[in-house]
Structures are given as structure tokens and as C-alpha cells.
């Protein structure tokens, strides 16, 4: 089975490619002098382009008046029947190799220095146009809710412009960006319509579309952003990819180039990329701490089982088929109450290996469950003296009657001048039941969100969650440490 799993996993990986470098074309020339009066400043090329788009908007309103299949917004035309959006933009003045955090921003952004282009429309109107042509808003990332993947159907983006020598040019927008990390595959061809989050102005003041109000006013972002309309279709936290994505000089049309931007659904035939799946696990042999005894059930959104067999290879076969057919499996991991936490931890480690751009996308936990990465804690923080700050510690053990007993520990750091390490002062609380854990945490004036749980491997997920569940809402960052594995000394 190990050989089969290895083959399936390797097949999930993309191959990498490289892009060529060519000489940059010249930018469009600034007008020499355009003065309406002696007391007025010359119009910039961006002002002229903006005025051009405004004039086009008036023409579009007249042209498509009464056509229910066409939506006309300032700087935007959308066709519901043919499923396309057209907007107009201008390239910025990025230089070759400069960081490109955004593919497209709104004209009011002020982030031209890190974007490929700026559009003559608002981010919110792009969102409206996408919904008009039949696309549904997805879900943006939200680290506070443990959502690391943008979720939604995808779009293809094209840039068109008139080249003085070559005529009309058209490329897919991602070709304007280069990932300068050697080991990485090219950027995905499609982008996720996640939709910017909605903010509230305040009590009874209504809501606002964050991408319209908050900088950077992103329409298409090259890193995962909670406030972009369209997100990059890969796991790309800003701090991890900053400086990785740069302007590609081989495809650059030149600075201040007037662009027509075309946005179309990736699939126009009703096919959906997003596939919601619940991964349920249970044990074939109760009490086993071996992952070989685990069994799996994959349930679709309609509740139907997707896998014929219950073994790991059967689960992987479903994921493999979905990804090969152009789907993104968004998976909620649901351990059964009978599964030992040793097995849950091992399964979490396996899921992490396939939780990748070309694999599955692990969703936030179901309400009342621990996020799967909680079973993959940072081992460098196991010891108290190695931590910068201190969480709560919860020790769970089984007594002679095989009952779970618990002890809560509060750790206070006492700093002394000229001492580089603080003194650690601990206070223990023996807990009579799960409710008493809630009681002791509520007594504390300190708002400590994280709890480090130390538990034996044979403890079941259900036994552990009886203690964790009452406090999970206020303390979602739960990390489970199993006993350290003893390394046997090699025989001479």
C-alpha cells in the first residue's frame, strides 16, 4: 500500500517551468503639454486615459440601453449570456524584477508601485459584475477562523493592448508575473473569486465592501488577502511570498499602456471547481493506536458517500480523481470519538502532506472540533523555558479506574533586571470535571487564547474533547502534545 500511496501523492505534484526574458518595450509617451488654461496643470497620461473611459461609459449606456443581458457600470461592461466582463486599466511604472503584490488594483488605491495595473473602476463593481454573469461569491481567507485557503469558483483573466509595431496583443494575465523562486511551479492560470469581506461602519450605520474603502483596494491579489475581490489560487501568505512575485519583463507591454481587461469564468458549462467533502474517520479496532486500523468515509455535500472502500488508498483515489478532473476538494476533517489521539495526530500529519495547491484544501474545523494542525504542534515549544510567552497547560491522564483526570497549570513569567531568562512561577488546579476547567479559566484576569494539552496516545478523541469542548469557543488555539518518542540508542 505504501508504494501505491507514494505514486498517488507524487502524481498530485505539478512540474515546474521557466519563463524567458526579453527586452522591455518602451512605455507609452506622456503628452508633451496639454493645458486648458495658463493657471492649470498639464493633464497626465492617466488623466487622459480616465477621461477616455468616462466617455466610453456614456457610449456604453446608450448602446446597451434596455438590454437585460448587459450590465453597464462606470468602467465596466458585463455580458450575462456570453459570460464575460470587460474593464479598462493602465499598466503602472514597475521596473523589471520589482515586486508585484497585485495584478490589478482600483485606480484610487495608491499602490501603483507594487501592482501590474490599475483599473478605471471600483473593486465593488467588479464583484457586482461577476455576480451578474452568474458567478457566486466564495469565501476569502480568514486566519482568525483558521481558514487559510480562499474558496470559490475561478476566473481566467486576459490583458489586451495595442502595440505600435505588433498590433493588438492578448495574453493571460498571470504571464505578466514571474515567480523568481527556482523550485516553484508557474502561477496558476485561473484565479479565485472569493470576494472581499464586508465590514460594519458601526452601530446601525450599515456595512461597506472592504476592498472599496480599505487600502490596497485590491481587485486581483497575488497573495492571499481577506479584502481582495479575486485571489490567487494557491496558498500564498503575504509574508511567505513577498519579493517572490515580480514583474515579468519578457511579457511587459510597457509603462502606462492602456489595457482592456477581460474576465471570464473558468468553466462556462455549469461545471464546478469547488467540491465540499467531509472526511470522517473511525477505528476498525477500538482502542488501537495504529493508523493501519483507521477507516475513512468521504461524504459529499448531499450526504452521499464518495469512496467505495474504507481504506486510505480508497480515500486517496477519490481525491486523485477529483483533482485530475479540475476540481478542488475542500475537506473538513472530522475524527470519530473512538479514534485514539495518536491516530488523529498521525492522520493530521498525512493530511498536511496533501494540503497543497494541487491537492486537497483542508477547511476550518467543524464547530466543536479542534483544527487538524493542533495535532502538529511546534516541538520547539514543548518545554516551558523555550517559549517567549506562556499558554495554559492542561494535563490529561487516565487513573487506575481508567477515568480521565485533569490538571490545569498557569505559568507566570517573573523578570529580574539583568537576567536573560525569566523565573517561571506555576500554579496548579486539580479539575473535578470539564465544567471546572471553564470555571478556572473564567477566574483569570489574563486573556490567554492558547492551551497546550499533554495527553497519552491511547486517549480517545471523544475523551479529550469532553474536556476541551466547554472552552473551545474562547480558546480555539488548542495544541496537543503526545509523549516524546524515545530514540533508541544504536547498538555497537
Q: Residue 43's pLDDT is what?
A: 86
**pLDDT for position 479:** 98
Outline where 285-340 has alpha helix (H): 312-324
Of 161, 165, 163, 182, residue with least CA distance to 173: 161
- Residue 5 within any structural domain of the chain: no
Of 265, 296, 316, which marks where a domain is finished? 265
- H helix or E strand, kind and range, residue 3: helix 2-11
For the record, the C-alpha cell of 375 comes out as 495535532
Phi, psi of 167 (to 5 degrees): 85, -155
CA angle in degrees (0–180, nearest 5) for 27-29-32: 160
* H runs (alpha helix) in 398-489: 434-443, 461-468
Question: Alpha-carbon distance 486 to 492, whole Å?
Answer: 18
45 and 146 co-located in one domain: yes
Residues 344 and 461 placed together within one structural domain of the fold:
no
Domain closes at, from 210, 237, 265: 265
Q: How far apart are CA 174 and CA 186, in angstroms?
A: 9
Task: Residue count of the chain, please give it.
Answer: 492
Nearest to 330 by CA among 151, 136, 142, 148: 151
The whole-angstrom separation of Cα 5 and Cα 342 is 21
Q: What is the pTM of this model?
A: 0.88
Q: What angle do CA 204, 205, 210 make, to 5 degrees?
A: 130
pLDDT at 400: 84
Number of domains in the chain: 3
Segment holding 300, helix H or strand E: strand 294-300
pLDDT of the chain, 492 residues: tens digit per residue: 434 344 444 444 333 333 333 344 555 554 444 444 455 678 899 999 999 999 999 999 999 999 999 999 999 999 999 999 999 999 999 998 899 999 999 999 999 999 999 999 999 999 999 999 999 999 999 999 999 999 999 999 999 999 999 999 999 999 999 999 877 778 899 999 999 999 877 666 688 999 999 999 999 999 999 999 999 999 999 999 999 999 999 999 999 999 999 999 999 999 999 999 999 999 988 888 888 899 999 999 999 999 999 999 999 999 999 999 999 999 999 999 999 999 999 999 999 999 999 999 999 999 999 999 999 999 999 999 999 999 999 999 998 888 999 999 999 999 888 888 899 999 999 999 999 999 999 999 888 989 999 999 999 999 999 999 999 999 999 999 999 977 565 555
What is the CA 308 to chain-centroid distance, rounded?
31
Name which of 457, 451, 452, 450 is nearest 482 in CA terms. Answer: 457
- Could you tell me if residue 16 is inside a domain? no
Do residues 245 and 389 both lie within one domain?
Answer: no
Residue 11 covered by a domain: no
**φ and ψ at 170, to 5 degrees?**
-145, 125
Same domain, 305 and 165: no
Query: What number of other Cβ atoms are within 10 A of residue 470's Cβ?
Result: 18
Asked whether residue 2 is domain-assigned, the answer is no
The per-residue pLDDT for 487 is 59
Residues 166 and 282 in one domain: no
Q: Provide the pLDDT for residue 491.
A: 55
Do residues 328 and 382 both lie within one domain?
Answer: no
Q: Which residues contact 97 (CB under 8 A, 6 or more apart)?
A: 180, 246, 247, 249
Residues 365 and 423 in one domain: no
Which is nearest to 143 in space by CA: 184, 197, 102, 106? 197
Within a domain: 419? yes
Q: In this structure, what CATH number is given to the domain that contains residue 436?
A: 3.30.420
How far apart are alpha carbons 161 and 28 in whole angstroms?
Answer: 11
**Residue 446: CA count within 13 A, CB half-sphere:** 13
Which of 372, 401, 416 is the last residue in one of the domains?
A: 372
Q: Is residue 404 part of a domain?
A: yes
Q: Residue 40: its pLDDT value, please? A: 65
Q: Which residues are bridge partners to 362 per DSSP?
A: 331
Residues 75 and 189 in one domain: yes
The residue segments making up the domain with residue 323 are: 274-372
- R_g (Cα) of the chain, nearest Å: 27
DSSP lists the bridge partners of residue 361 as 330
CA gap 276, 66 in Å, rounded: 39
Amino acid at each position: 500500500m505504501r508504494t501505491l500511496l507514494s505514486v498517488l501523492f507524487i502524481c498530485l505534484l505539478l512540474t515546474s517551468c521557466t519563463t524567458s526574458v526579453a527586452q522591455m518595450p518602451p512605455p507609452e509617451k506622456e503628452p508633451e503639454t496639454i493645458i486648458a488654461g495658463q493657471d492649470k496643470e498639464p493633464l497626465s497620461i492617466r488623466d487622459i486615459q480616465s477621461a477616455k473611459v468616462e466617455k466610453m461609459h456614456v457610449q456604453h449606456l446608450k448602446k446597451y440601453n434596455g438590454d437585460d443581458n448587459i450590465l453597464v457600470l462606470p468602467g465596466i461592461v458585463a455580458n450575462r449570456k456570453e459570460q464575460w466582463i470587460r474593464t479598462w486599466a493602465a499598466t503602472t511604472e514597475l521596473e523589471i524584477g520589482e515586486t508585484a503584490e497585485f495584478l490589478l488594483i482600483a485606480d484610487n488605491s495608491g499602490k501603483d508601485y507594487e501592482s501590474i495595473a490599475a483599473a478605471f473602476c471600483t473593486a465593488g463593481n467588479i464583484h457586482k459584475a461577476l455576480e451578474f454573469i452568474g458567478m457566486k461569491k466564495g469565501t476569502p481567507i480568514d486566519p482568525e477562523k483558521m481558514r487559510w485557503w480562499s474558496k470559490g469558483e475561478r476566473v481566467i483573466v486576459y490583458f489586451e493592448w495595442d502595440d505600435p509595431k505588433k498590433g493588438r496583443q492578448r495574453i493571460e494575465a498571470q504571464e505578466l508575473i514571474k515567480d523568481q523562486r527556482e523550485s516553484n511551479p508557474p502561477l496558476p492560470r485561473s484565479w479565485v473569486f472569493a470576494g472581499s469581506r464586508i465590514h460594519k461602519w458601526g452601530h446601525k450605520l450599515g456595512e461597506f465592501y472592504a476592498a472599496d474603502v480599505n487600502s490596497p483596494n485590491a481587485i486581483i491579489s497575488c497573495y492571499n488577502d481577506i479584502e481582495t475581490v479575486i485571489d490567487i489560487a494557491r496558498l500564498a501568505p503575504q509574508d511567505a511570498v513577498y519579493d517572490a512575485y515580480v514583474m515579468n519583463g519578457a511579457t511587459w507591454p510597457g509603462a502606462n499602456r492602456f489595457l482592456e481587461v477581460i474576465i471570464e469564468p473558468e468553466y462556462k458549462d455549469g461545471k464546478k471547481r469547488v467540491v465540499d467533502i467531509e472526511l470522517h474517520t473511525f477505528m476498525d479496532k477500538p482502542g488501537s493506536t495504529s493508523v493501519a486500523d483507521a477507516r475513512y468515509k468521504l461524504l459529499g455535500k448531499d450526504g452521499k458517500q464518495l469512496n467505495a472502500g474504507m481504506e486510505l488508498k480508497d480515500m486517496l483515489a477519490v481525491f486523485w480523481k477529483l483533482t485530475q478532473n479540475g476540481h478542488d476538494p475542500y475537506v473538513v476533517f472530522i475524527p470519530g470519538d473512538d479514534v485514539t489521539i495518536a491516530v488523529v495526530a498521525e492522520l493530521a500529519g498525512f493530511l498536511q502532506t496533501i494540503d497543497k495547491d494541487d491537492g486537497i484544501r483542508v477547511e476550518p474545523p467543524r464547530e466543536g472540533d479542534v483544527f487538524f494542525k493542533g495535532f502538529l504542534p511546534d516541538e520547539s515549544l514543548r518545554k516551558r523555558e523555550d517559549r517567549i510567552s506562556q499558554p495554559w497547560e492542561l494535563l490529561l491522564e487516565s487513573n487506575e479506574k481508567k477515568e480521565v483526570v485533569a490538571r490545569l497549570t498557569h505559568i507566570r513569567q517573573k523578570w529580574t533586571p539583568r537576567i536573560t531568562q525569566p523565573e517561571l512561577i506555576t500554579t496548579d488546579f486539580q479539575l473535578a470535571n470539564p465544567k471546572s476547567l471553564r470555571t478556572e479559566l473564567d477566574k483569570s484576569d489574563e486573556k490567554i487564547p492558547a492551551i497546550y494539552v499533554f495527553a497519552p496516545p491511547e486517549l480517545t478523541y471523544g475523551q479529550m474533547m469532553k474536556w476541551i469542548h466547554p472552552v473551545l469557543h474562547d480558546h480555539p488555539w488548542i495544541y496537543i502534545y503526545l509523549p516524546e518518542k524515545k530514540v533508541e540508542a544504536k547498538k555497537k
